[in-house]
Amino acid sequence: MASSSLSLFFLFSLLSPILIASSPVQDPELVVQEVHRSINESRRNLGYLSCGSGNPIDDCWRCDANWEKNRQSLADCAIGFGKNAIGGKNGKIYVVTDSSDDDVVNPKPGTLRYAVIQDEPLWIIFARDMVIKLKEELIMNSFKTIDGRGASVHIAGGPCITIQYVTNIIIHGLNIHDCKQGGNTNVRDSPSHYGFRTISDGDGVSIFGGSHIWVDHCSLSNCHDGLIDAIHGSTAITISNNYMTHHDKVMLLGHSDSYTQDKNMQVTIAFNHFGEGLVQRMPRCRHGYFHVVNNDYTHWEMYAIGGSADPTINSQGNRFLAPNDRSSKEVRPHLLTFFFLFFIFFFEFLKPISKFSLH
């Protein structure tokens, strides 16, 4: 009996790191420390590695001269809360050869839509440069990587990417822009199922109840709603090395102040460039834990980072270059101060009039 208990204890000891690593909810302080260890290690190697950049994500795969033959090693390069997103690692390489999207219920083999709905893990790459105008949302199945390295791939002019109630997704190296709303039609989301979709938000990347998600090295701009939105219990997400421009509501993390299921949301936002023509939500956070680290903010019109409903926003090592506007250079704008002073003046001005009217 004692021997059996000891064996079970030993087995659990072996499995516990795997169980902890795969859990969507992580110890945020430990994750933040690990991010800083990765960054510091890359910086220390700058003097020894000619390919080093100080960015641990890029140094992980770009220092491999044969990365095209070892594409799936990218899955080992994420940092932060989405570090365990493996995407289509250990699955087959699927090559997109057809940029069309003619049938969203019965997509053709060779198209991007056909690849992302499959049940098995797939590492999706592109045969050549292409512009893909989707007819409806691209609804992804679990364990998929969309890897745009080596080609110029644009997803533009139609509905864009939806990650809904799935896990282990990597999106790397895509140009996502001019995304529109879609819906009011049937769309396939797996080989065995299609269903009716209501009107979509028109996000560049919509994460809805997803976990273990990594969006890296994408260029995003000018979408109908958000560039990247994560809501409805999504967690274990890293958004890194992206270039975002020309958009109003950039990134929403958390559905609403009343949606308390987002309390477990954990997101790392690292090494992104928030560029010209952006207005607000870089990001807009609710409820969860958000590590915003080593990002470059070069423009905003309303605000850069915002939050409500008691989020924890850990902002470290970011560069903020504010526009030449006094209200944009403060933690809170002067709007509340203006109204406060206005009401003081208004009521003070009315005092003599009130006394006069009463007599």
CATH number assigned to the domain comprising residue 215: 2.160.20.10
- The reported pLDDT for the residue numbered 163 is 99
> Exposure string (b/e) for 45-72, b if CB count within 10 Å is 16 or more?
beeeeeebbbbbbbbbbeeeeeeeeebb
Phi, psi of 95 (to 5 degrees): -105, 120
Nearest to 254, CA basis, from 333, 181, 184, 307 = 307
| Rounded (5°) CA angle 142-144-147 | 160
- The reported pLDDT for the residue numbered 22 is 53
Residue 195 inside a domain? The answer is yes
- Segment 130-143 mean pLDDT: 99
Indicate the number of domains in the chain: 1
Residue 116 inside a domain? The answer is yes
Residue 31 inside a domain? The answer is yes
Spatial distance between the Cα atoms of 250 and 222, rounded to a whole number of angstroms? 9
Residue 36 inside a domain? The answer is yes
- The reported pLDDT for the residue numbered 351 is 43
Range of the domain at 193: 24-323
Residue 359 inside a domain? The answer is no
Q: Is the pLDDT of residue 273 over 90?
A: yes
- The reported pLDDT for the residue numbered 117 is 99
Share of the chain above pLDDT 70, in %: 84
Spatial distance between the Cα atoms of 279 and 296, rounded to a whole number of angstroms? 15
Q: Pairing between strand 185-190 and 193-197? A: antiparallel
- The reported pLDDT for the residue numbered 172 is 99
- The reported pLDDT for the residue numbered 331 is 66
Q: Is the pLDDT of residue 185 over 50?
A: yes
Residue 340 inside a domain? The answer is no
Q: Is the pLDDT of residue 8 over 60?
A: no
- The reported pLDDT for the residue numbered 18 is 40
Residue 287 inside a domain? The answer is yes
- The reported pLDDT for the residue numbered 49 is 56
Report yes or no: 316 and 292 within 8 Å, Cβ to Cβ: yes
Instruction: Give tens-digit pLDDT for 315-339.
Output: 999 999 988 877 776 766 545 444 4
Q: Is the pLDDT of residue 1 over 90?
A: no
| Rounded (5°) CA angle 252-53-28 | 40
Set 197, 281, 284, 286: catalytic member: 281
Spatial distance between the Cα atoms of 145 and 121, rounded to a whole number of angstroms? 8
Q: Calculate the average pLDDT of the chain.
A: 88
Instruction: Give tens-digit pLDDT for 231-241.
Output: 999 999 999 99
- The reported pLDDT for the residue numbered 359 is 33
Say whether 281 is catalytic.
Answer: yes
Report yes or no: 101 and 113 within 8 Å, Cβ to Cβ: yes
Residue 328 inside a domain? The answer is no
- Segment 241-263 mean pLDDT: 96
- Segment 265-276 mean pLDDT: 98
- Segment 143-163 mean pLDDT: 99
Out of 32-46, 52-66, 128-142, 334-348, the most confident range is 128-142
- Segment 174-200 mean pLDDT: 98
